[in-house]
A and B are shown apart, each in its own frame.
Chain A
Amino acid sequence: MSELRRVMCVEDDADIRMILEFSLTTVGGYDVCMCPGGRSALQQAPVFRPDLVLLDVMMPDLSGPETLAALRGMPCMRGVPVVFMTAKAMPDELEQLLQHGATGLIVKPFDPMTLPKDILPYWEHGRGRHVLA
């Protein structure tokens, strides 16, 4: 059984990128690719070939849903779980986000000490889904 190794993070806030990188590399031991925006993620995805993507929702260049739609159209991203990270906390807002086709949601702020474990279920149960027809 393969393991979760490569995690791509798409986040425009530098402080959140900083704590994400600490969490996923220092605590979790993953290989991480940090992208400051959606356009960067679209460029990096074919090169980095992530096993899982953590995707911010509110970003200035491409929004999270726009980035998700573009990633889903890339052959190299077939079956790769994409998890939204959002500071939105209202249930109706979260439900709306899931309707964009994300594998799941992680509500910010996250705990940097537990995030590496928290993302595992999304990979274990989400990989292989959302393949192109």
Chain B
Amino acid sequence: MTKRITIDPITRIEGHLRIDVEVDDGAVANSWASCTMWRGIERILQGRDPREAWLFTQRFCGVCTTVHAMASVRAVEDSLKLEVPANAQYIRNLILINHGLHDHIVHFYQLSALDWVDVLQIPKADPAKTASLAESISPWTGNSKEQMKFAQDKVKGVAASGQLGIFANGYWGHPAMRLSPDVNLLAFSHYLQALDYQRKALQVVGMLGGKTPHIQNLTVGGVANAINLDSQAAMNMNRLEAMKVLMDEVVNFVHQVYFVDCCAIAAMYTDWFNYGSGVKNYLAVPDLPLDSKATMFDLPGGFILDGNLRDVHKFSSASDAPFRDGVTEDVAHAYYEGKTNLHPWKGETIPDFTDWQADKKYTWVKAPRFQGHPMQVGPLSQVLIGYAQGDALTRKWTDAALATISSVSGKQVTVDMLQSTMGRHAARAIRAAMLADLAQKHWQLLVDNIAKGDTTVHNPPSFPSGEVLGVGTHEAPRGTLSHWVVVDNGKIKNYQAVVPSTWNASPRDNAGNHGPYEASLLRNPIADPERPLEVLRTVHSFDPCMACACHTFDPSGRQIAKVKVL
């Protein structure tokens, strides 16, 4: 007997993703990812000054503000072949790194941990035993019995109030929940501490960017931060040191808490390395440029097809020709008119709404394709592409994660097994651990460069007459982000943003190939169709954020699972 489950909405943050799955014999037999609201924000940019585009694009989404600002200035710079001074690269990199750390911490603890952690088991835990367990696996100083008791009391307080409050939308007591009360408590105590450390990471972004959530310091050609070691009003050593203190705290949290917790939870749920692979084509662009021409990067990019890690293709620049020429968007199953497979520079956004129709049009998300293939983007792609290329930093943290998960679980977990639901979580923790190392590295690069006497932060742009094309990329927390701009006589003629959640939430294309969310759900087990926790686990492992892909103003924020027998 086939049952159709509709989950609408699924994100716990702004946005409105709808998932439909057909369940047969306790597993997902077919799936659709759709978004319920039109995306057309880019049209606002037509006719505007390209130097101001980033101010608008960072308002696309309240979660991914800085990433859209950065991709926008990079797109305009690419159209002008404008170099960015080294100081500006390092300052931008530090903003991107700290934003990424904030985002990954929030995703793991606040947005997805409770898919695996059963809060209502916590009152049964023993805080003393939890503390000694925690101290046996990490040097973190926030693992005392008192801290565990504090966290337990918070849950008891919420439970005693008779209302679940912030925990009202979880599937507590679900048979797929498997952690002991003590491990649940440990994870939850870090859930509370994570709120402090995500904030510290954002404070670093604010110190560099002027303020958050909307940074003020970007400019096409560099940054607007005044560097003067002798001035109280400018970026000086006191400010840089204050930033370093905050950053070091975040780095420790990521290495000693997030990375360890993620490995421990993965070790308790090793069966989730068997589900959720889906689309095994991976895409990432290189990021964190190390020089003003952006020829060298700390984070590698490229692509892998069919999960074949032995055949990785490398991108040599952030707008490398294979990427620049390889991206198209298909609208066969999306609510748009027009031709399929348009390149973003020629992209159209003409709405053509129909009802949700499983075999026709069913979403507002276009289907981006790379060289015709659906691609998965995000930390898993970043890690697999780096690992396959032999990138030392990726290997260091990936090998550490695999060794920890294997030793705690007693099962051999390999890099190939990361192509799974749990692998996406592990890869995000690996990526965060790498970014934490790079936070310290890029701070030092900036300080050393300033110490050499270089205070340049900006190269002024000048716009030619006629038409120029640019693509700006950023390997954002959720994956490959690209902004595509056509500038004509110094004014924006066309602008398209191909965002990570568009790649991952893409619908079927003209050839009927599923997008990554859809494909990843196939064959997932479903213990209880009325409470489809397993669907949430796999979809949340991508870190969906539909606000960029499609904005929405539907409010309810309640997870609603509707089940119907077909």
A and B from one assembly?
no
